[in-house]
C-alpha cells in the first residue's frame, strides 16, 4: 500500500479560524446597531438583522425569501431602488443612497444605504448586502437646524440689541436693524466696509482691533466696553461680546459682535453712586432711628436720630452686641428671633420694638428689620429702620379726622368733583356734580367716565388728560365741555390730580372742576367792553394819566394833552411830579401817589395843574391803583374831571379803566394795537406768548416790517390800511412767525379802527384767535377725507351711501361695475329706484333701520344687474353691512354700506340646494315603496312579532320621509321657489290647534313628546291678537317646530306660549318659552343654520338633524318678520316670532301695491288662489279640498275671440294685444324732413320704436300693414292739404280707434295760418297738441304720459270685455274673481242647496229630437220665468236632466226655501203644458271650482251633488223629494205645509238605502194621500259601497300624522271582509302606470284585496297602448316617468276620453303647489301626493269608480230606454193604422203643449218605466 498524505493541520486551523470569523461576522451583522439586509441575485431577502426588525417591524421569518422591492418598498420608490440593486449586482456599488421605507405599522423611515456587491469564494456575485443607517431623526434634526438657522437670521435682524458681524478681513457682513436705528448707518452703508476703520473713533481703534483679532484667533471676549459715535456725532456706550464665527468644519470665518447700549446704564450708574452717597447722608440725617448689625449681632450702623432718642452716641454703640446691651431682658428673646430671621432672608415689617434710653425713658418703635446684602446678594447683616409710633398714632388719628373732613368737603364742595380708578371708572361723584349735570351718584358709579359722560369730539383729549394724571402728570385748568342729562352744554375748567395709595402708588385721579359757563359768557362780554374801554380812555373827555411804581408817566390821554398842552410823547416815561406838578403841590401829590401805590386810593383829590402855556387848571383827581392779573400793584392811574360836569362819571371811568387794562393784558386772545404809522401800541400777554416777543420788544416798532414775513407783508398791510381808513375787517387770517422762526402761527384776526376823542382814527386794534392747531386739524381732516374718498372709489368691494332721505350720495366703481348703473346716473336718486322691485323692500327696510341707529350686518341684497345697453344681465347677490353715518355732533346724516359680491357663492349654494332637492325627490319614491309594502305586509301578517317589526319599518320610513320633506322645504326656500299663500290667519286659533296636536304627539319609540313633568301652557288667548295675513300652513309649521323643540329639550317645568301686539311696528309677537337646558351664547346664531345643532357629538342625547329652526327662520323672513332667541344655560330659552299684520312679502310681490284679496263671505269659507300665492288652508287649519296650486293664465286663443271682432284688419282686439313692456311704438307723419329729424333726436334710446311716414297715404298704408299696433301717432297739422284729416277719419271710421285706444298727438306751431286747421283737427279726435319748437325732455314726458294713459284705458276696456263674457258663463261673483286675474278658483262651500229635476215621461214623443227640444224649452222657460238670477245659478245640463244651486256665494241664507218655491212654481207651470217633472232637493256641503281658461265652466262636486242625483233616480213622477238635511233647513213640517199648494202634503217615505249613502230618511211632497209604491221598497244597487270610516285629519304639513294613520288603518276593512267594486261584466279594471316596480307592488297590494283587476304599465307608451287595447275604469298615473311624463300622457288621453269616460288620478312625490294645478289643467280628475295613506287612496279611487260605474249604468239604461221607445213608436204606428181602419178613438187624453195636441198614452208597465239621465259631473 502506498499512502500519499497531506498535512492539513494548517488547513484545519485556517478553516476553524474562518469559521470563527464567519460566526463573528454573522453575530456582528445580526447585532449591529445599523439595519443590514441582503438579497440574492433574484432580489429575494437572505439577510435581515435585528436592527432591521426593530425599525421596520417585520420579523426575520416574515422577510426571508420575500422580494425586497415588491414587498418592502413603496410603489413610487420601487424603480429607483431596483436600479440601485441592479447596479450592485453588476458590480457597481452605491454609497449614501437615501432609501425610503414604510414600516409594518405605517411609519415612514429614511435609511442612508451603502449597497455592496456580495461575492462567493470564487469571486462570483451572489447578491447584494445593504448596510444602512437610520437617518430619519437626522433628517428631522437637519430640518429643525434649518428652521433654527432661519429663526436665528430673523432673530439677529429683529433683535433689540445691536448685532454686527465681520469676516476675517474685518469687513462688515452683518448689521441688524437695531444697529441701524442706534447708530444711524443703514445696512447698505455698512456691509462690505471695514468696521474699525470706518465706524470706530481714532482713540479706540487699537483696543477694538485687538478684541476682534483675539476673537478671530478663537478667544472670545465678553463685556468689552467701548464708545461708538452715531452718524450725527452722538456718543453711545456699547458693552460688547465678541464671539468667533465658525464654518461647518470648525474654522473661524469671522466674528459676531452682540452689543448692548449701556449709555443709559452708565448714566444710571453715576446716578446710583450719587444716590449711595445721598443714602449714607440720608441714613445719618434721617428723622427715623436706624441701626444695623452684622452676622454676629454687633452694631454697624447707628444714626443720629437713634443717638438722640436713646442717648447713646455712635461711638458708644458701634461694635457692641445690640441685643445684649440695648434691649431689655424681657424683650431680648423676641428681638433676637426677629434679627435671626432677617439674617436668613426672612424680613420683618412693623415689629413693635420696646426700647429704653440711657436716661431710662421708654420708647416704642415700629421696626422694619431688613436683610442687608452685598453686591453679590450675600447676606451681611440686618438694617432696622424704626419709627416712634407714639406720635404716629396721634398723627394717624388726626389723619383720619382730616380724611373724614376731606370726604365731607368733596361731597359738600361747591365745585363739581369726580374721581376715577386706574381703569377710568367713576369712584367719586359729589353732590355738585350731580346737581350740575343731572346724573345721580348711583347712575355714574362704576361706569366709564369718558365712555358715558364725555361727548365724542372731546373723548380723546379728556382721555389724554386722565391718562397723563394716571402717570403722575397732573393737569391744571384744562377746559372741556360737558352735556347735562337734559342736553344742556356746560363749560368746565378742570384740575386733574393724581390720587395715590398709602405707599405712593397711583390709584386713580381726582378731578376738581369749575363751572365756567357763565365766566365764558362774561369773558366775551368783557372783550367787547375792553375794546370800548380802550377807545373810551383815549377819547375820554376827562384828562387821564398813569404812572408806574417809579412815578414815570405810562398813560396820557388826549384830554390830558389838550388840557395841559403836553403831548403823549412829551410825557410818557417822564416823572409826573417832577416835571408836571408845581413845587408847592409836589409833596401832597407825592403822598397821594404813594398811598395809591400802597393800595390806598385817593378819590376827589383836587389837583392844581399848570399847562404848558402857564394856564392854571384845577382837576378833581382820582388816583387809582393799577394792578396786574395777579393783583400786584404796578402803578397808578389818575383820572381827572371837571368837578362841575363829571362827578357821576368818575367812579365808572376808574373801574372801567382798571378792568380794561387788566383785561387787555390778561385776555386769553392775542390782542395788539398800532397807531396810524403802523407802530405797535398794544401787545398783550397772550400775543407775547404766541410770538415769543415780549411787550417791551414790540412796543413802538413797525408791526409789518418787524413781525410779518416777507411774503405776507403786502396782504397784512392792506388789511391794516383798510382798518386805519375806517373799514373794519373780520376773520382775516393773519400769518406770524415766532421769534426763533421755528413755527408759523395762524391768527384769525378782526381789525377794528381805534379812534380818538374827536372821532379821528388814531390806530387800529386787532383781536385775534390762534387757529394754528385748528388749521392743521382741518388740513389733516381734508387730507383724510380725500384719501377716504379715493379709498371708497377705488375699493375692490362694492360701496354705496345714502343721505337721510335715502338718496344716493356714494357709488363707487365696483358698485357701478357690478350693478351696471354708472355713478353719474345714480347719484341723487332714491335708492329704491335703483334696484328692481324684488330688492326694493329689503333695501328700504335695512336703510330705514340704519337711519334709526340700528345697524345691520351681513344682509343679502339680490337684484337684477344691467349691461352697458341697459338690458338685464343677470341676478347679483351682495352681502352688505349697513352702518350709520354720523356728523361731528354724532347725529345720523346717512348710511354707508360696504359689501361683498357673493353671486358666485350664492349660485354654488343654490345649485347645491337644488341638487339636494333632486336627491330628496328621488328618495321619496323608494321611501314611499317601503312605507306602502311594509304597511300592506303588516295588515296581512298574523305573527305579532313580525307585525311589530314591519310597523317599525313603517315608522322609520315615515321619519326618513319627514327628513326628505324638510330638506326639500329648505331647498325651495333657499332657491326662492317657495311661494306663500297669504290669507287671513287667526294666530290664536292656529296655535290652539298646534298645541292640541303636540299634547298627543309621540316620538319614534311611541313615547309622548310631552313628559309628565312638563306643563304645556297656551296663554295666547289673553293677548287678544288681531287677525294677520299669512300662510296658515307655514305658520303652523313654524309653531310646531318651536314648541316641539321646547318640549324635547325640557325635562321638567313648563313650556309657555305668550304673545302681544306691537302697535308701533305693526307686528304680532309670539313667545315660546321653556325651562329646559338652554343654549350657549356661542351657538345662539348657529342654531338657525341648516344641519346645525348645539350638541353635534356622536354621543348626543337629543335626536334630529337641525333643519326645524332653519326652516322656521326662512318662513318667518319670507313673511317679512323676524325670529329671535334669548337663552341661558340650565335656565331655559325663549324664541320670539314677529310677524307683520300685513305681510311685507305679500305686499312687495303685488305689482303696484295691490291690496290683499278680501276674505270670502262668512257663509262660504272660500280660498281664491291667484298667481301670486301657492296654497291655502282655512282658518281652522283644515286643508281645503280645492286645488291648492297656481297656473299662469294663458292668453286667449285666436279662435276664442268674440264674434264682433273684425278679422283681417286688426280691429279693437288687435289694438289691445300686448306689446313689449316699457317700449313705445310711434308713428310720425310729417312731410318736413327737419321736423322728422327733430322727433328722431328726441326719441333716441331703446325704449322708443319710431316709424316715419312722409305723407298721410303712407300712414294709412302703414296702419293697414302693421301687425303690431302703435302706441301713439304724431301728426303734422300742415300735412299736404287734407291728408292729415284723412288719417284721422280712417282711424275713427275704418279702424274704429278712439283717442283712448290709439292717441293722436298733433304737431303744430302757433301761427295764424294754422289756427283753423288746429281747431278742426282737435274736433276730429286729436288727443293732444304739441307746439313746435319743443324741449326734448318736455316732449318725452308728455309722450310717456299719453302712452301710459292709453295703456290703462286699453286694460280697462279689455277687462270690461272679458268680464262681460265671463258673466255669461259663470256666476257674477266668480266672474269678478276671474276678471281680477285669478287663474285657479276652487273653494269649499259649507252649506248650499241643490235642486235636480228632469222630465218624468217620454212615451208621447212623436219624433225623438224635435219633441225632446220642445219639452226642454217648456222646462227652460218655466225655470227662467220663476228663478231669481241673484240667488239661483243653473249648471250646464246634460240631456233631459237639469241642476240648479242656491246659496253657493253665501248671500242667500234661505237658499233651500228659494229652491223649494222654484220647484213648486215650475211644476205648476209645466203641468199645464202636459209636462211632468220629478224633483230632488238636498242641502249640504259641496266643493266648487272653475274649469277651463278660454270658456270657463263653473263646476260643483262632492257628496251633496251625488246625493241629489241619487235622490232624483228614486223620485216618482210629479213628485218633489227632499232629504232630511233639506227638511232641517226648511224648518218645521207644519210651517212647510202652509207654503204648499192645495192638495199637496209632506210624507216621510221611511229609511231607504241610496247608492253610496246608506240608510237615510226621505220626504215627499205629493198630491193626495199615501206613499208612491216606488219608495216603499228597499232599493238595492250594485253600486252601494260599504261605509268607510272617516278619513283621518291631515296635519298642516300635508301628511297624515303617524298616530292618525295607525288608527285609520285599524278601522279599514280587513281582506277577509272586503267589499268588491264590480260591474255586471266582472271586477273593475285599473291601469297602474309607474316606472318604479316597488310602487307598482304597493298599488297592487292595496287594491288586489279590494277586488280590482290591475294591469301594470311601466311607462307612458305602454299606458297608451294598454288603453287602446283594452278598456279600463280608472287609471293611476305617476307624474314623473322617463320618456313621456305623466302630464303628457294625461293630455294625450284627454284628447280621446273625457273625465267621466276615463277617471285619472295623478300620483307624485313632488310637493310644489304648482304641480297640482298643472295636473288638474292637464285633465286629471284627482291628485294624490306620495307617500299617501292607504285609507286616502282607497277612498278616492272608490269615489271616482262609483261615479264612473254610475255613468255606465245610466248609459245602459238610456240604451234600453231608446230600444223601448223605438219599439213603442213602431207599436203606435201600427195602432194608428188599425185605428184608421176601424175609426175608433184612441184611449188617450189630449194635453195642450205649446199649441199642439199630443197624445199621452196610458202609463206603461213598471218594466218599461223611463229612467232619467244622470247629470255629467
Q: In whole angstroms, how far apart are CA 772 and each of 672, 733, 735, 948?
A: 18, 10, 9, 92
Average pLDDT taken over every residue of the chain:
75
The most confident of the ranges 678-682, 1236-1240, 1580-1584 is 678-682
Neighbouring CB atoms inside 10 A of 815's CB total 25
Residue carrying the nine cell digits 312687495: 1148
Alpha-carbon distances, residue 426 vs 22, 136, 420, 464, 500 (angstroms): 92, 63, 4, 16, 16
Average pLDDT over residues 1348-1366: 69
Higher per-residue confidence, 635 vs 1795: 635
At which residue does the C-alpha cell 297640482 appear?
1716
pLDDT given at position 1279: 63
**Residue (of 1344, 1333, 1137, 1149) closest to 1237 by Cα position:** 1333
1657-1704 pLDDT, tens per residue?
Answer: 999 999 998 888 877 889 999 888 888 888 899 999 988 888 878 889
What's the pLDDT score for residue 1055? 93
Name the band, by pLDDT with cuts 50, 70 and 90, for residue 1160: very low
Alpha-carbon distance of 606 to 650, in angstroms, equals: 13
pLDDT (average), residues 118-134: 85
168 near 252, Cβ under 8 Å? yes
Give me the DSSP letters along 1276-1331: ETTSTTTHHHHHHHIIIIIS---TTTS-EEEEE---GGGHHHHHHHHHTT--EEEE
E strands within 1555-1595? 1558-1567
- The sign of the torsion formed by the CA atoms of 1726, 1729, 1733, 1734 equals positive
The pLDDT value given to residue 1053:
92
Highest mean pLDDT among 1049-1053, 1418-1422, 1499-1503: 1049-1053
Confidence of residue 1202 (pLDDT cuts 50, 70, 90): very low
Apex 739 CA angle, 737 and 741, nearest 5: 55
Rounded-to-integer distance, Cα 990 and Cα 1032, Å: 8
Is the pLDDT higher at 358 or at 1316? 358
Strand partners, 608: 618
DSSP three-state, residue 193: coil
Contacting residues for 1060 by C-beta, under 8 A, at least 6 apart: 1023, 1025, 1068, 1069
Task: Tell whether the torsion through CA atoms of 698, 701, 702 and 707 is positive or negative.
Answer: negative
pLDDT for 1734-1770, tens place per residue? 767 887 788 778 777 777 776 676 666 666 656 555 5
pLDDT value at position 179? 86
Query: Which of 149-163, 244-258, 1012-1026 is the least confident region?
Result: 149-163
Strand partners, 489: 483
Mean pLDDT across 431-456: 87
Global pTM value: 0.31
Flag whether pLDDT at 1298 surpasses 60. Answer: no
Q: Which residue has the higher pLDDT, 1291 or 1377?
A: 1377
**Whole-Å CA distances, 1650 to 954, 1615, 1619, 1725:** 22, 8, 6, 21
> What is the C-alpha separation between 56 and 193, in angstroms, rounded?
55
What confidence tens digit (pLDDT) does each residue in 880-900 have?
888 888 887 788 889 888 888
Q: Over range 808-816, report the average pLDDT.
A: 88
Is 252 in contact with 267 (CB distance < 8 Å)? no
Region of poorest pLDDT, from 37-46, 219-228, 720-729, 1490-1499: 1490-1499
Of residues 833, 823, 884, the one with CA closest to residue 863: 833
Cell (9 digits) for 82: 431596483
pLDDT at residue 1555 greater than cutoff 60: no
Least confident range from 1702-1706, 1722-1726, 1769-1773: namely 1769-1773
Report the alpha-carbon distance of residue 932 to residue 917 in Å, rounded. Answer: 22
Q: What are phi and psi of 1757, to 5 degrees?
A: -65, -40
With 60 as the cut, is the pLDDT of residue 28 above it? yes
- Dihedral sign, Cα of residue 1799, residue 1801, residue 1802, residue 1807: negative
Place of cell 292595496: 1646
Mean pLDDT of 1553-1562: 59
**1292 vs 1595, residue with greater confidence:** 1292
Q: Phi and psi of 643, rounded to 5°?
A: -65, -10
Instruction: For 365-402, write each residue's pLDDT tens digit.
Output: 888 888 888 877 889 999 888 877 766 666 676 767 76
- Residue 1615, pLDDT score: 36
Candidates 852, 845, 858; CA nearest to 897 is 858
Please name the residue that has the C-alpha cell 202634503.
1545
pLDDT of 1258 > 90? The answer is no
Whether 709 has a pLDDT exceeding 60, the answer reads: yes
C-beta separation of 1437 from 1809 below 8 A: no
pLDDT at 1803: 36
Query: Regarding predicted confidence, which is higher, 322 or 1335?
Result: 322
Q: Which of 724, 723, 736 is nearest to 687 (CA)?
A: 736
**pLDDT of residue 1059 exceeding 90:** yes
Backbone angles phi, psi at 1308, to 5 degrees: -145, 160
Angle between helices 1660-1669 and 1686-1694 (to 10 degrees): 30
Residues of the chain with pLDDT > 90, as a percent, come to 5
User: What is the arithmetic mean of pLDDT over 695-702?
Assistant: 87
The residue among 1183, 1188, 1190, 1189 whose CA lies nearest residue 1736 is 1183
For the record, the C-alpha cell of 1156 comes out as 290683499
Tens digits of residue pLDDT in 233-254 = 888 888 888 888 888 777 888 9
Backbone angles phi, psi at 139, to 5 degrees: -65, -40
Dihedral angle sign, alpha carbons of residues 1230, 1235, 1237, 1240: negative
- For residue 1459, the tally of other CB atoms under 10 A from its CB is 31
User: pLDDT: is 1530 or 652 the higher one?
Assistant: 1530
The Cβ of residue 824 has, within 10 Å, a number of other Cβ atoms equal to 9
Mean pLDDT (whole number) for 128-150:
77
Amino acid at each position: 500500500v502506498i499512502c500519499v498524505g497531506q498535512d492539513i493541520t494548517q488547513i484545519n486551523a485556517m478553516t476553524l479560524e474562518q469559521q470563527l470569523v464567519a460566526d463573528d461576522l454573522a453575530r456582528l451583522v445580526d447585532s449591529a446597531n445599523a439595519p443590514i439586509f441582503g438579497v440574492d441575485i433574484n432580489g429575494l431577502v437572505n439577510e435581515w438583522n435585528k436592527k432591521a426588525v426593530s425599525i421596520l417591524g417585520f420579523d426575520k421569518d416574515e422577510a426571508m425569501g420575500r422580494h425586497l422591492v415588491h414587498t418592502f418598498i413603496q410603489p413610487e420608490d420601487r424603480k429607483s431602488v431596483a436600479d440601485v440593486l441592479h447596479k450592485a449586482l453588476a458590480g457597481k456599488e452605491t454609497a449614501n443612497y437615501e432609501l425610503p421605507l414604510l414600516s409594518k405599522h405605517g411609519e415612514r423611515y429614511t435609511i442612508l444605504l451603502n449597497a455592496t456587491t456580495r461575492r462567493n469564494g470564487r469571486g462570483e456575485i451572489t447578491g447584494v448586502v445593504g448596510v444602512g443607517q437610520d437617518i430619519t431623526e437626522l433628517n428631522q434634526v437637519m430640518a429643525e437646524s434649518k428652521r433654527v438657522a432661519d429663526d436665528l437670521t430673523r432673530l439677529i435682524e429683529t433683535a433689540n440689541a445691536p448685532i454686527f458681524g465681520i469676516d476675517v478681513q474685518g469687513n462688515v457682513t452683518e448689521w441688524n436693524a437695531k444697529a441701524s436705528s442706534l447708530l444711524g448707518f443703514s445696512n447698505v452703508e455698512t456691509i462690505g466696509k471695514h468696521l474699525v476703520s470706518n465706524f470706530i473713533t481714532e482713540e479706540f481703534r487699537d483696543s477694538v482691533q485687538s478684541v476682534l483679532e483675539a476673537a478671530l484667533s478663537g478667544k472670545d471676549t465678553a463685556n468689552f466696553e467701548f464708545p461708538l459715535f452715531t452718524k450725527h456725532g452722538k456718543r453711545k456706550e456699547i458693552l460688547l461680546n465678541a464671539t468667533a464665527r465658525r464654518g461647518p468644519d470648525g474654522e473661524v470665518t469671522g466674528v459676531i459682535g452682540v452689543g448692548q447700549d449701556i449709555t443709559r446704564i452708565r448714566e444710571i450708574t453715576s446716578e446710583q453712586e450719587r444716590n449711595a452717597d445721598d443714602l449714607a447722608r440720608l441714613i445719618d440725617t434721617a428723622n427715623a432711628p436706624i441701626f444695623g448689625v452684622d452676622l454676629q449681632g454687633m452694631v454697624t450702623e447707628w444714626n443720629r436720630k437713634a443717638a438722640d432718642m436713646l442717648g447713646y452716641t455712635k461711638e458708644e454703640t458701634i461694635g457692641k452686641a445690640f441685643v445684649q446691651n440695648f434691649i431689655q431682658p424681657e424683650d431680648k428673646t423676641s428681638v433676637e428671633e426677629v434679627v435671626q430671621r432677617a439674617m436668613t432672608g426672612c424680613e420683618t415689617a412693623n415689629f413693635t420694638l420696646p426700647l429704653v434710653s440711657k436716661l431710662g425713658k421708654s420708647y416704642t418703635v415700629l421696626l422694619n428689620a431688613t436683610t442687608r446684602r452685598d453686591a453679590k446678594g450675600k447676606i451681611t447683616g440686618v438694617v432696622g429702620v424704626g419709627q416712634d409710633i407714639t406720635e404716629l398714632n396721634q398723627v394717624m388719628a388726626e389723619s383720619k379726622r382730616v380724611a373724614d373732613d376731606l370726604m365731607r368737603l368733596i361731597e359738600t364742595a361747591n365745585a363739581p368733583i369726580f374721581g376715577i380708578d386706574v381703569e377710568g371708572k367713576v369712584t367719586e361723584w359729589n353732590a355738585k356734580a350731580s346737581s350740575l349735570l343731572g346724573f345721580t351718584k348711583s347712575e355714574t358709579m362704576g361706569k366709564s367716565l369718558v365712555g358715558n359722560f364725555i361727548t365724542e369730539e372731546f373723548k380723546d383729549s379728556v382721555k389724554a388728560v386722565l391718562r397723563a394724571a394716571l402717570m403722575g402728570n397732573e393737569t391744571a385748568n384744562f377746559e372741556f365741555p360737558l352735556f347735562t342729562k337734559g342736553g344742556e352744554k356746560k363749560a368746565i375748567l378742570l384740575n386733574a390730580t393724581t390720587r395715590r395709595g398709602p405707599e405712593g402708588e397711583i390709584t386713580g385721579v381726582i378731578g376738581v372742576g369749575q363751572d365756567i359757563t357763565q365766566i365764558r359768557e362774561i369773558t366775551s362780554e368783557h372783550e367787547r367792553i375792553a375794546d370800548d374801554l380802550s377807545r373810551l380812555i383815549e377819547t375820554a373827555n376827562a384828562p387821564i394819566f398813569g404812572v408806574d411804581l417809579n412815578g414815570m408817566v405810562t398813560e396820557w390821554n388826549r384830554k390830558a394833552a389838550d388840557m395841559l398842552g403836553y403831548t403823549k410823547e412829551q410825557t410818557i416815561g417822564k416823572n409826573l411830579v417832577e416835571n408836571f406838578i408845581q413845587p408847592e403841590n409836589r409833596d401832597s401829590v407825592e403822598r397821594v401817589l404813594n398811598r395809591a401805590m400802597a393800595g390806598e386810593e385817593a378819590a376827589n383829590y383836587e389837583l392844581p395843574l399848570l399847562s404848558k402855556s402857564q394856564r392854571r387848571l384845577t382837576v378833581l383827581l382820582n388816583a387809582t391803583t393799577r394792578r396786574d392779573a395777579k393783583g400786584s400793584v404796578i402803578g397808578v392811574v389818575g383820572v381827572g374831571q371837571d368837578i362841575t360836569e363829571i362827578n357821576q362819571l368818575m367812579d365808572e371811568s376808574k373801574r372801567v379803566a382798571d378792568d380794561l387794562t387788566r383785561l387787555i393784558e390778561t385776555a386769553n386772545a392775542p390782542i395788539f394795537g398800532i397807531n396810524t404809522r403802523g407802530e405797535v401800541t398794544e401787545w398783550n400777554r397772550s400775543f407775547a406768548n404766541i410770538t415769543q416777543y415780549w411787550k417791551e420788544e414790540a412796543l413802538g416798532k413797525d408791526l409789518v416790517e418787524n413781525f410779518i414775513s416777507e411774503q405776507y407783508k403786502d396782504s397784512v398791510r392792506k388789511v391794516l390800511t383798510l382798518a386805519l381808513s375806517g373799514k373794519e375787517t373780520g376773520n382775516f387770517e393773519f400769518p406770524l412767525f415766532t421769534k426763533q422762526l421755528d413755527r408759523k402761527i395762524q391768527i384769525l384776526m378782526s381789525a377794528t379802527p381805534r379812534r380818538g376823542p374827536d372821532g379821528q382814527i388814531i390806530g387800529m386794534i386787532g383781536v385775534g384767535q390762534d387757529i394754528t392747531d385748528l388749521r392743521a386739524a382741518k388740513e389733516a381732516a381734508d387730507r383724510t377725507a380725500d384719501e377716504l374718498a379715493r379709498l371708497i372709489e377705488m375699493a375692490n368691494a362694492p360701496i354705496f351711501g345714502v343721505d337721510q332721505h335715502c338718496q344716493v350720495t356714494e357709488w363707487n366703481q365696483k358698485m357701478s361695475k357690478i350693478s351696471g348703473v354708472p355713478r353719474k346716473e345714480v347719484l341723487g336718486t332714491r335708492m329704491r329706484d335703483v334696484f328692481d322691485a324684488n330688492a326694493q323692500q329689503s333695501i328700504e327696510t335695512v336703510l330705514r333701520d340704519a337711519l334709526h341707529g340700528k345697524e345691520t350686518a351681513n344682509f343679502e341684497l339680490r337684484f337684477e344687474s344691467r349691461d352697458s345697453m341697459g338690458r338685464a344681465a343677470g341676478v347679483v347677490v351682495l352681502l352688505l353691512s349697513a352702518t350709520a353715518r354720523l356728523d361731528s355732533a354724532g347725529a345720523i346724516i346717512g348710511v354707508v354700506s360696504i359689501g361683498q359680491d357673493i353671486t358666485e357663492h350664492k349660485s354654488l349654494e343654490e345649485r347645491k340646494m337644488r341638487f339636494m332637492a333632486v336627491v330628496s325627490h328621488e328618495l321619496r319614491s323608494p321611501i314611499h315603496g317601503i312605507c306602502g309594502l311594509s304597511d300592506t305586509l303588516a295588515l296581512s301578517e298574523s305573527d305579532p312579532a313580525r307585525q311589530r317589526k314591519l310597523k317599525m319599518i313603517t315608522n322609520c320610513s315615515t321619519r326618513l320621509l319627514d327628513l326628505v320633506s324638510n330638506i326639500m322645504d329648505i331647498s325651495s326656500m333657499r332657491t326662492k321657489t317657495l311661494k306663500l299663500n297669504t290669507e287671513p290667519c287667526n294666530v290664536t286659533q292656529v296655535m290652539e290647534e298646534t298645541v292640541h296636536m303636540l299634547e298627543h304627539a309621540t316620538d319614534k319609540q311611541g313615547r309622548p313628546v310631552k313628559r309628565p313633568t312638563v306643563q304645556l301652557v297656551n296663554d295666547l288667548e289673553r293677548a287678544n291678537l288681531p287677525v294677520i295675513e299669512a300662510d296658515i300652513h307655514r305658520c303652523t309649521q313654524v309653531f310646531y317646530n318651536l314648541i316641539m323643540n321646547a318640549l324635547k329639550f325640557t325635562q321638567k317645568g313648563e313650556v309657555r306660549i305668550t304673545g302681544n301686539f306691537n302697535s308701533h311696528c305693526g307686528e304680532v309677537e309670539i313667545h315660546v318659552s321653556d325651562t329646559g337646558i338652554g343654549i350657549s351664547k356661542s351657538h345662539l346664531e348657529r342654531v338657525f343654520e341648516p344641519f346645525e345643532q348645539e350638541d353635534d357629538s356622536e354621543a348626543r342625547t337629543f335626536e334630529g338633524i337641525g333643519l326645524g329652526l332653519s326652516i322656521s327662520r326662512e318662513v318667518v323672513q319670507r313673511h317679512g318678520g323676524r325670529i329671535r332667541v334669548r337663552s341661558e344655560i340650565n335656565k331655559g330659552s325663549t324664541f320670539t316670532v314677529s310677524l307683520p299684520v300685513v305681510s311685507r312679502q305679500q305686499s312687495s310681490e303685488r305689482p303696484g301695491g295691490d291690496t290683499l284679496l278680501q276674505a270670502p263671505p262668512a257663509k262660504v269659507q272660500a280660498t281664491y288662489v291667484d298667481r301670486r300665492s301657492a296654497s291655502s288652508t282655512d282658518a281652522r287649519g283644515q286643508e281645503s279640498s280645492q286645488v291648492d296650486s297656481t297656473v299662469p293664465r294663458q292668453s286667449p286663443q285666436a279662435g276664442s275671440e268674440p264674434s264682433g271682432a273684425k278679422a283681417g284688419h286688426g280691429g279693437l282686439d288687435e289694438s289691445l294685444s300686448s306689446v313689449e313692456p316699457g317700449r313705445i311704438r310711434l308713428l310720425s307723419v310729417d312731410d318736413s324732413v327737419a321736423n322728422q329729424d327733430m322727433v328722431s333726436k328726441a326719441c333716441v334710446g331703446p325704449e322708443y320704436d319710431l316709424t316715419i311716414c312722409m305723407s298721410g297715404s303712407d300712414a294709412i298704408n302703414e296702419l293697414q300693414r302693421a301687425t303690431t299696433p302703435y302706441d301713439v301717432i304724431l301728426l303734422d297739422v300742415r300735412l299736404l292739404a287734407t291728408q292729415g284729416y284723412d288719417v284721422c277719419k280712417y282711424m275713427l271710421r275704418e279702424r274704429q280707434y278712439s283717442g283712448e285706444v290709439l292717441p293722436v298727438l298733433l304737431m303744430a306751431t302757433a301761427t295764424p295760418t294754422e289756427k283753423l286747421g288746429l281747431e278742426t283737427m282737435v274736433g276730429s279726435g286729436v288727443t293732444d297738441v304739441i307746439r313746435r319748437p319743443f324741449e326734448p325732455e318736455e316732449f318725452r314726458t308728455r309722450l310717456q304720459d299719453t302712452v301710459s294713459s292709453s295703456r290703462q284705458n286699453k286694460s280697462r276696456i279689455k277687462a270690461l270685455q272679458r268680464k262681460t263674457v265671463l258673466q255669461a258663463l259663470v256666476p257674477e261673483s266668480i266672474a269678478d274673481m276671474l276678471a281680477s286675474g285669478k287663474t285657479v278658483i276652487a273653494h269649499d262651500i259649507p252649506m248650499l242647496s241643490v235642486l235636480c229635476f228632469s222630465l218624468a215621461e217620454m212615451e208621447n214623443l212623436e219624433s225623438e229630437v224635435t219633441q225632446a227640444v220642445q219639452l226642454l224649452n217648456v222646462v227652460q222657460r218655466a225655470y227662467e220665468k220663476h228663478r231669481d238670477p241673484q240667488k239661483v245659478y243653473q249648471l250646464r245640463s246634460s240631456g233631459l236632466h237639469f241642476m240648479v244651486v242656491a246659496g253657493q256665494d253665501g248671500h242667500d241664507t234661505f237658499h233651500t226655501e228659494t229652491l223649494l218655491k222654484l220647484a213648486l212654481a215650475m211644476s205648476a207651470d209645466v203641468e199645464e203644458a202636459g209636462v211632468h217633472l220629478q224633483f230632488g232637493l238636498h242641502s249640504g256641503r259641496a266643493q266648487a271650482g272653475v274649469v277651463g281658461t278660454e270658456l270657463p265652466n263653473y263646476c260643483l262636486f262632492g257628496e251633496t251633488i251625488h246625493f241629489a242625483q241619487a235622490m232624483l233616480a228614486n223620485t216618482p213622477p210629479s213628485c218633489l223629494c227632499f232629504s232630511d238635511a233639506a227638511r232641517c233647513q226648511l224648518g218645521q213640517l207644519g210651517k212647510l205645509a202652509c207654503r204648499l199648494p192645495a192638495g199637496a202634503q209632506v210624507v216621510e217615505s221611511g229609511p231607504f238605502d241610496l247608492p253610496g249613502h246608506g240608510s237615510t230618511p226621505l220626504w215627499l211632497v205629493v198630491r193626495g194621500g199615501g206613499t208612491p209604491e216606488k219608495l216603499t221598497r228597499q232599493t238595492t244597487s250594485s253600486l252601494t259601497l260599504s261605509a268607510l270610516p272617516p278619513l283621518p285629519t291631515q296635519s298642516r304639513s300635508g301628511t297624515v300624522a303617524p298616530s292618525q294613520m295607525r288608527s285609520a288603518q285599524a278601522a279599514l276593512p280587513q281582506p277577509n271582509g272586503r267589499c268588491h267594486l264590480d260591474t255586471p261584466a266582472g271586477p273593475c279594471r285599473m291601469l297602474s302606470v309607474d316606472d318604479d316596480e316597488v310602487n307598482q307592488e304597493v298599488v297592487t297590494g292595496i287594491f288586489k284585496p279590494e277586488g280590482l283587476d290591475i294591469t301594470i304599465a311601466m311607462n307612458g307608451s305602454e299606458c297608451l297602448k294598454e288603453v287602446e287595447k283594452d278598456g279600463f275604469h280608472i287609471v293611476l298615473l305617476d307624474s314623473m316617468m322617463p320618456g313621456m311624463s305623466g302630464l303628457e300622457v294625461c293630455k294625450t288621453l284627454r284628447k280621446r276620453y273625457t273625465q267621466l269616460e276615463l277617471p285619472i288620478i295623478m300620483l307624485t312625490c313632488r310637493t310644489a303647489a304648482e304641480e297640482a294645478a298643472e295636473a288638474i289643467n292637464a285633465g286629471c280628475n284627482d291628485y294624490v301626493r306620495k307617500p299617501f295613506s292607504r285609507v286616502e287612496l282607497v277612498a278616492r279611487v272608490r269615489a271616482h269608480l262609483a261615479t264612473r260605474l254610475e255613468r255606465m249604468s245610466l248609459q245602459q239604461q238610456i240604451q234600453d230606454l231608446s230600444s223601448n221607445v223605438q219599439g213603442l213608436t213602431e207599436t203606435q204606428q201600427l195602432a194608428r193604422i188599425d185605428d184608421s181602419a176601424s175609426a175608433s178613438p184612441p184611449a188617450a187624453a189630449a194635453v195642450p203643449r205649446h199649441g199642439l195636441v199630443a197624445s199621452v198614452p196610458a202609463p206603461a208597465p213598471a218594466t218599461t218605466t223611463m229612467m232619467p239621465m244622470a247629470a255629467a259631473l
